[in-house]
Amino acid sequence: MHINTGKGSADVADVWASFLKGDEEAYSCIIRKFARPLFNYGIRFSSDRDLIKDCIQDVFFDLWNKRDRISETSYVQAYLFKSIRHRIIREKSKWEQMESLENVPFLGEFNIETKIIEEQSNREINDRIARVFNSLPQRQKEIVYLRFYENLGHDKICTIMGLTRQSVYNLLQKALHKMRKEWVTVALYSFFYLYR
């Protein structure tokens, strides 16, 4: 069994439905499809890679053991992201006396070099953009990451973060407004840098 990413999430939902009926091959397929994205998302909450791997393993273990109590969903990725987020927060609070869910830091780094600009001559611009991203409040950083790096829609972000659609929309707009405002400065700097 293989999840066909060419058709979209309908195939993922079909595999999910098979998994819920006890299909071990569908379960393996879900693990193969989502283990890496869960790790990439989880590392935003803790730099402890072993903790993240353990949490992912626990999420998949619980998924199999509790499959009879899990309902069908077309938001499989959102369901898994929310599960890993809560698992990491729970585990960190055991070991580090973490603050409440609202105050858990989002450790995302803005890796612009691989996403936007590949040439080394743009390092100064990349640093400025990274500073703008990293200056955003934690929740805004997380929303920008989920929306633009994981390509999730507003509804899925609502599910993952436990926010209303309006809250997600407002936080995303505030983040984009701040980034656009700072981007004008970066663009002007780039123009003068290129034509000096």
Q: Is pLDDT at 100 greater than 70 in this prediction? A: no
Say if residue 46 is in the same domain as residue 90: yes
Give the list of residues 6+ apart from residue 13 with CB closer than 8 angstroms, or none. 72, 73, 74, 76
Closest CA to 29 of 19, 42, 41: 19
- Mean pLDDT (whole number) for 9-26: 85
Q: Has residue 7 got a pLDDT over 50?
A: no
Q: Count how many Cα atoms sit within 13 Å of the Cα of residue 51 in the half-sphere of its side chain.
A: 20
Q: Same structural domain for residues 155 and 132?
A: yes
Q: Kindly report the length of the chain.
A: 196
Asked if 126 contacts 117 with a C-beta cutoff of 8 angstroms, the reply is yes
Task: State the Cα–Cα distance between residues 51 and 43, nearest whole angstrom.
Answer: 9
Is position 161 within any domain? yes
| Spatial separation of the C-alpha atoms in residues 31 and 34, rounded to whole Å | 5
3-17, 28-42, 59-73, 153-167, range with the lowest pLDDT: 3-17
Residue 122 DSSP SS3: helix
36-to-39, 56, 80 alpha-carbon distances in Å: 5, 10, 12
Q: Give the highest mean pLDDT range of 30-39, 65-74, 102-111.
A: 30-39
Cα angle 68, 153, 78; round to 5: 25
pLDDT of residue 184: 60
CATH number where 77 lies: 1.10.1740
pLDDT bin (cut points 50, 70, 90) of residue 96 is: low
In this predicted model, which residue has the larger pLDDT, 176 or 35? 35
Residue 94 or residue 173, greater confidence: 173
Instruction: Supply the pLDDT for residue 132.
Output: 80
Name the residue with tokens 């970066």: 186
| CATH number (domain holding residue 128) | 1.10.10.10
Where b means 16+ CB within 10 Å and e means fewer, 54-82 reads ebbebbbeebeeeeeeeeebebbbbbbbb
User: Residue 81: is its pLDDT beyond 70?
Assistant: yes
Q: How many domains does the chain have?
A: 2
Q: What CA–CA distance (Å, rounded) separates 48 from 178?
A: 30
Beta carbons within 10 angstroms of residue 155's beta carbon? 13
Give the residue among 173, 172, 150 at the shortest CA–CA distance from 80. Answer: 150
Evaluate whether residue 2 is within a structural domain: no
Instruction: Let me know whether 14 and 99 are in one domain.
Output: yes
pLDDT at 101: 55
Q: Across residues 66-81, what is the average pLDDT?
A: 89
Same domain, 99 and 49: yes
Q: Kindly report the pTM of this predicted structure.
A: 0.57
Residue 3 lies in a domain: no
How many Å apart are CA 49 and CA 51, to the nearest integer? 5
